[in-house]
Amino acid sequence: MIKADLKTLTVHAAADMLSANEISSLELCNAYIERIEKVDSQVKAFLKLDKNDILKRAADADARRADGKELSPYDGIPIGIKDCIVTEKQTCSCASKLLENVVSPYDSTVVARLKAKGFIPAGRLNMDEFAMGSSCENSAFQKTANPWDLKRVPGGSSGGSAACVAAGEVPVSLGSDTGGSIRQPAAFCGVVGLKPTYGRVSRYGLVAFASSLDQIGPLSHDVLDSAIILDTIGGLDPKDSTSLPEPCTGFADALKDLEDKDLNGVKVGLPKEYFDTEGISEGVRKGLDDTIATLKKLGAEIVEVSLPHTKYAVSVYYVIATAEASANLARFDGVRYGVRKDGGDLIATYFKSRGEGFGDEVQRRILLGTYVLSSGYYDAYYLRAQKVRTLIRRDFEEAAKQCDILLTPVTTAPAFKFGAKSDPLQMYLSDIFTIALNLSGACGISLPAGISEANKIPVAIQFIAPALEEAKLFRIARIFELNRDQKEFAPEL
């Protein structure tokens, strides 16, 4: 029997239990499956779950361990996968009717690398359709609920990936982040979400939304687990020409024994544009204030910095992301992938398949993207947005000269209720603090920082480091995590 509480059990703690023979992988996976059967009818994080496959892999892991041939300390630990990251012989719908029941013939690079270390891909996780959204309400199939308050959204687009970790249905999961889709749901559900540097993690086998922004990353209970997963999935991949050759290992090892370390000599920058914003809720503000107090107590120096082009980030993002999406989603034509709605002739079949297969938000983005790329408007919108993107990236590079790391909010307020942001523009604006990071290509992590007094749900903060500085990001985040007032975050559910 597993004595640990699944709602807070980390990958590293599970690995310790496995190596001490306190549990087997079969016991661990069975406990998680039982938990899923108990709570997922309410949380609805899973689109699909192949129990037999999980249990077979768990038995294989146990057999390897009994022979002293385990693939890694993590052999036999389950990991949830967002439904836009392909796993061989499993469905990959991107929560879209257009791809319903499509089965992948191959593994994405991240899943292949996880399997090579013995991790067990466990379940397909709900998301906003094609990763477009901030609440999971755009899924064509179901609305995932926030495990802290079932009337609230889990965030999005990786809402299923955040909710299943918070609810203790798996110890860790993968999401994807194009404009905040890992960090924002992590913030809403009280877990840790990492957006690695663009190019750190291969996108081979990730269904593309906006290729120059998309990045896969982990959602976990703590920073150490985040580092363990980045060590596993990151690094050069010949199948993705944008993946970076820099080594991507050793992050987790560098986080051992930080219990009594401080932050003397570390400069933390507060971008004034992120703090001037009106409408930051009381709970989020308190989370930021408490974080600043903890950082100061640890010896860090707090400095003000400026990211002057912040106000353009949302507009630039919605030009570039929709332009890329309109091109990427052109392949879903009812002929090559997924559902086909016969329209009589070829053109009518394209129209009918796309018209009925894609949801409203996806169609809105394709229209917007096609418009900004059209010959009369390309210079005025797309080209101009690319130029402003460069200015936004330079803002981060300039700020990095004045401090080691940035501290910002993740969202203006904690998780909102279903239906609260029915106006698409209001939903777009909710990503104001996460989007610029994707445009810059640098790395960031969102961490729980407290509980909002008003509604008893988590609030979070974001640390941002320059491109390829994950080691620094992890170290500061881990020291903060070990010293913040509240150590663990688990919903009652």
Residues 203-242 as x/- pattern, contact with ligand GLN by CB under 6 A: ------x---------------------------------
| Interface stretch with ligand GLN, choices 65-73, 174-182, 229-237, 352-360 (CB under 6 A) | 174-182
- Is there binding between residue 179 and ligand GLN (CB under 6 A)? yes
Instruction: Quote the CA–CA distance of 142 and 126 in Å, as a whole number.
Output: 8
> 217 has which bridge partners?
175
Which of 181, 202, 243, 353 is flagged as catalytic?
A: 181
Instruction: Quote the CA–CA distance of 374 and 381 in Å, as a whole number.
Output: 10
| Interface stretch with ligand GLN, choices 130-138, 254-262, 461-469, 480-488 (CB under 6 A) | 130-138
- Is there binding between residue 144 and ligand GLN (CB under 6 A)? no
149: DSSP letter: B
- Is there binding between residue 134 and ligand GLN (CB under 6 A)? yes
Q: Which of 148, 168, 109, 140 is nearest to 47 (CA)?
A: 140
90: DSSP letter: S
Residue 458 Cβ, how far from ligand GLN at the closest point, in Å? 19
Instruction: Quote the CA–CA distance of 295 and 461 in Å, as a whole number.
Output: 12
Instruction: Quote the CA–CA distance of 448 and 94 in Å, as a whole number.
Output: 27
Radius of gyration of the CA atoms of the chain, in A = 21
Q: Work out the angle at residue 279's Cα, subtended by the Cα atoms of residues 492 and 397, and round it to the nearest 5 degrees.
A: 95
Residues 188-207 as x/- pattern, contact with ligand GLN by CB under 6 A: --------------------
Residue 178 or 291: the one with the smaller Cβ distance to ligand GLN is: 178
Residue 62 or 177: the one with the smaller Cβ distance to ligand GLN is: 177
| Interface stretch with ligand GLN, choices 34-42, 127-135, 243-251, 412-420 (CB under 6 A) | 127-135
Residue from 118, 154, 180, 234 binding ligand GLN (CB under 6 A): 180
Question: How far apart, in Å, are the Cα atoms of 109 and each of 76, 88, 103, 216, 342?
Answer: 19, 11, 16, 11, 34
Residue 224 Cβ, how far from ligand GLN at the closest point, in Å? 24
The first and second tokens of residue 205, run together, are 């086998």
Residue 211 Cβ, how far from ligand GLN at the closest point, in Å? 12
DSSP labels for 422-451?
-SHHHHHHTTTTTHHHHHHT-EEEEEEEEE
* CB-nearest residue to ligand GLN: 181
Residue from 99, 110, 122, 131 binding ligand GLN (CB under 6 A): 131
Residue 462 or 483: the one with the smaller Cβ distance to ligand GLN is: 462
Residue 82 Cβ, how far from ligand GLN at the closest point, in Å? 10
Task: Give the other-Cβ count within 10 Å of 52's Cβ.
Answer: 7
Residue 269 Cβ, how far from ligand GLN at the closest point, in Å? 24
Question: How far apart, in Å, are the Cα atoms of 31 and each of 26, 44, 85, 125?
Answer: 8, 18, 25, 19
Residue from 10, 96, 108, 178 binding ligand GLN (CB under 6 A): 178
- Is there binding between residue 137 and ligand GLN (CB under 6 A)? no
Residue 334 Cβ, how far from ligand GLN at the closest point, in Å? 24
- Is there binding between residue 322 and ligand GLN (CB under 6 A)? no
Residue 180 or 287: the one with the smaller Cβ distance to ligand GLN is: 180
Is 157 catalytic? The answer is yes
Residue 126 or 134: the one with the smaller Cβ distance to ligand GLN is: 134
Is 82 catalytic? The answer is yes
Q: What share of the chain is helix, strand, coil (3-state, %, to 5)?
A: 40, 15, 45
Which of 25, 96, 157, 220 is flagged as catalytic?
A: 157
Counted residue by residue, the chain has a size of: 493
Instruction: Quote the CA–CA distance of 198 and 211 in Å, as a whole number.
Output: 10
- Is there binding between residue 132 and ligand GLN (CB under 6 A)? yes
Residue from 321, 400, 457, 473 binding ligand GLN (CB under 6 A): 321
Which of 7, 24, 44, 82 is flagged as catalytic?
A: 82
Residue 97 or 364: the one with the smaller Cβ distance to ligand GLN is: 364
Q: Using CB atoms within 10 A of its CB, is residue 120 exposed (0-12), middle (13-18) or buried (19+)?
A: buried
- Is there binding between residue 133 and ligand GLN (CB under 6 A)? yes
| Interface stretch with ligand GLN, choices 35-43, 87-95, 125-133, 165-173 (CB under 6 A) | 125-133
Q: Work out the angle at residue 194's Cα, subtended by the Cα atoms of residues 389 and 446, and round it to the nearest 5 degrees.
A: 90
- C-beta of residue 8 within 8 angstroms of C-beta of residue 490: yes
- Is there binding between residue 243 and ligand GLN (CB under 6 A)? no
State the residue for tokens 């919108």: 381
- Is there binding between residue 181 and ligand GLN (CB under 6 A)? yes
- C-beta of residue 413 within 8 angstroms of C-beta of residue 421: no
Residue 130 Cβ, how far from ligand GLN at the closest point, in Å? 8
Four-point Cα dihedral 360, 365, 367, 370, nearest 10: -160
Number of DSSP helices (H) and strands (E) in the chain, helices first: 16, 11
Residue 84 or 255: the one with the smaller Cβ distance to ligand GLN is: 84
Residue from 157, 173, 197, 232 binding ligand GLN (CB under 6 A): 157
> 409 has which bridge partners?
461
Task: Give the other-Cβ count within 10 Å of 277's Cβ.
Answer: 14
- Is there binding between residue 431 and ligand GLN (CB under 6 A)? yes
Which residues does the annotation mark as catalytic? 82, 157, 181
User: Which residues lie near ligand GLN (CB under 6 A)?
Assistant: 131-134, 157, 177-181, 209, 321, 431
